[in-house]
Amino acid sequence: MSMRALFLILPLALAGCVTVDPAMERAAIEDRAAALEIPVGLTASFDGDISEDEAVALAIAENPRLAADLAEAGLARAEWASAVLPPNLIAELTWFNPEGAGAVLDADIRAPIAAIIGWPQREAAARARYDAAQSRALLRLIDFSAEVRLAWVEAVAARERANMYARILQSAEAALLLAEEIDAQGNAPGLDLTRQQVNALAARAAAEDAEQAAQTARIRLETLLTRPVDLPGRLPTEMADMAGTDRALSAALEASLPLAAARADAEAAAQSAGYTNIESLFHGELGPAFDIEDGDTETGVSAHVDVPVNGFGHPQRAAARIRAQQAADRLAALEDEISADIELALLEMNRAGERATMIREEWLPASTLALEQTMQQYNGMQIGVYALLDAFNAQVEAGRAWVDTLERYHRARIALMSLMQGGSPMGMAASQDLSAATGGGDH
């Protein structure tokens, strides 16, 4: 094949090497997510109470913010498809004496020297950026699924707490009504009535705050799901077996998508630095030349060289080396951050599990027994109604602590799940911030 034919055919052949199909890009990301047991494409009627997994599947399918984020992989593939192509050619035609005898046609076809020599580095950098974009898209899906799970846990826990505070308010209002009747009969000091008035007001404020928190958490969840849903009345009480969790650190580091993206970034920065070195040293174009005179054609080489009066790109090369070192340093720092987050998630999960066991096996039974014994004494007219109401409130308080601890456990579970799937190392910190903002956790 002649040089002229190669210059014409090669760009057309390379143009079809990489295609861009946004739907295919998203499907590939969802396939990888399904392999991590993320409920992508889960079919459900959603007629009854929506489960945690169903909430994740619904949000992934319909959330427009996630769809916009996942489109970044398609953009990176388009950049890669562009980088695969060779540089544009520069054609120069010169025709002497076009109307007379001895007409001469000079034809030059050139390409930038730096673009030719640095073509492999440019393509490799674009491929690395595409790989990083794919990893970040999958990471976004994993982090989004964790965000939905946390929102579901918060909404269910907040509703359960609101129901408990509503029961406390009912008991406080009942005590106030009784205190008013006793006070009207003149059979008790006025301090009892004042005390119950204060208790009722405090209970009302707490119930209103809990109801507001429940509504806020529900709105947050339904915004992610893009539709109203029905929620279960209680959090799941099952707790995972924590045996063998010491292996989570190495497994999560191996699966970490932030680390995969950081490695791809470091590779792209290194390749870009290499291309910058070439680009800064070679200024000009190079290509074949054709001279046609009286039907005779002569071939040669055409070279145009720029004189680098402004230097050989020392600042550009230095900047490229700095970016490559930055990427390497960020990779090392990220490994340390992920290790710390995994340890924190495991610690929190174990601690919440131990607290839940204590509440379930000791605190709740003790508060129930105390209420039963108080009820017996009240029926025997040994104590007043206020002591009975206090015992009831103590049992409700134990129930509230149980809900708070379950929520804390599930937050840690979701954070660990996300990390084991390769998710962001900020998952645990985000769940703790959300807990503090909405009043969750132990009190």
Q: Which of 358, 346, 341 has the alpha carbon at shortest distance from 428?
A: 341
- pLDDT of 8 reads 42
Identify whether 8 is part of a domain: no
**pLDDT higher than threshold 80 for residue 45:** no
Strand residues in 190-283 grouped as ranges (E): none
Handedness of CA 176, 181, 182, 184 (dihedral sign): positive
Give me the half-sphere count of Cα atoms (radius 13 Å) on the Cβ side of residue 318.
Answer: 4
Range from 46-55, 85-94, 128-137, 147-156 carrying the lowest mean pLDDT = 85-94
Q: Give the Cα separation of 227 and 215 in Å (integer).
A: 15
Q: What average pLDDT does this structure show over 218-243?
A: 86
Identify whether 186 is part of a domain: yes
Q: What burial letters (b/e) apply to 61-78, b meaning 16+ CB within 10 Å? A: bebeebeebbebbbebbb
Identify whether 134 is part of a domain: yes
Identify whether 7 is part of a domain: no
* CA geometry: angle 219, 224, 227, nearest 5 deg: 70
138-142, 255-259, 265-269, 295-299: which is most confident: 138-142
Range from 39-43, 233-237, 309-313 carrying the lowest mean pLDDT = 309-313
Kindly report the length of the chain. 443
Residues 6+ apart with CB under 8 A from 220: 151, 154, 155
Residues 56 and 37: beta-carbon distance below 8 Å: no
Residues 34 and 41: beta-carbon distance below 8 Å: yes
167 — pLDDT class (breaks 50, 70, 90): confident
**pLDDT higher than threshold 60 for residue 432:** no
Task: State how many domains the chain has.
Answer: 1
Q: Which of 401, 397, 394 has the alpha carbon at shortest distance from 358?
A: 401
Q: Which strands make up the sheet holding 104-112, listed edge to edge?
A: 90-96, 104-112, 284-293, 296-305
- The 10s digit of each residue's pLDDT in 84-141 is 666 677 777 776 665 656 666 676 776 666 666 666 766 777 777 777 777 788 888 9
CATH (domain of 208): 1.20.1600.10
- pLDDT of 7 reads 43
Of residues 440 and 253, more confidence is placed in: 253
Residue 429 phi, psi (nearest 5): -65, -40
Q: What average pLDDT does this structure show over 183-207?
A: 79
Q: What average pLDDT does this structure show over 280-299?
A: 60
Q: Give the Cα separation of 52 and 171 in Å (integer).
A: 33
- The 10s digit of each residue's pLDDT in 341-385 is 888 888 888 888 889 999 999 998 998 898 888 878 866 777 766
Identify whether 325 is part of a domain: yes
- The 10s digit of each residue's pLDDT in 311-327 is 455 566 666 667 777 77
* CA geometry: angle 94, 96, 101, nearest 5 deg: 145
Distances (CA, A) of 75 to 71, 79, 240: 7, 6, 40
Q: Which helix (H) or strand (E) segment is 6 a member of?
A: helix 3-15
Chain mean position to CA 111: 43
Identify whether 379 is part of a domain: yes
Question: Which range of residues forms the domain containing residue 300?
Answer: 18-438
Identify whether 3 is part of a domain: no
151 — pLDDT class (breaks 50, 70, 90): very high
- pLDDT of 327 reads 74
Within 111-189, residue ranges assigned H as helices are 113-117, 119-185
Encode 360-394 in three state secondary structure.
HHHHHHHHHHHHHHHHHHHHCCCCCHHHHHHHHHH
Average pLDDT value over all residues in the chain: 75
Neighbours of 173 (CB within 10 A): 15
Q: Which of 348, 418, 431 has the alpha carbon at shortest distance from 145?
A: 418
Identify whether 11 is part of a domain: no
Owner of token pair 């009207």: 184
- Tokens found for residue 231: 């929620």
Angle between helices 119-185 and 22-35 (to 10 degrees): 60
Owner of token pair 């063998």: 244
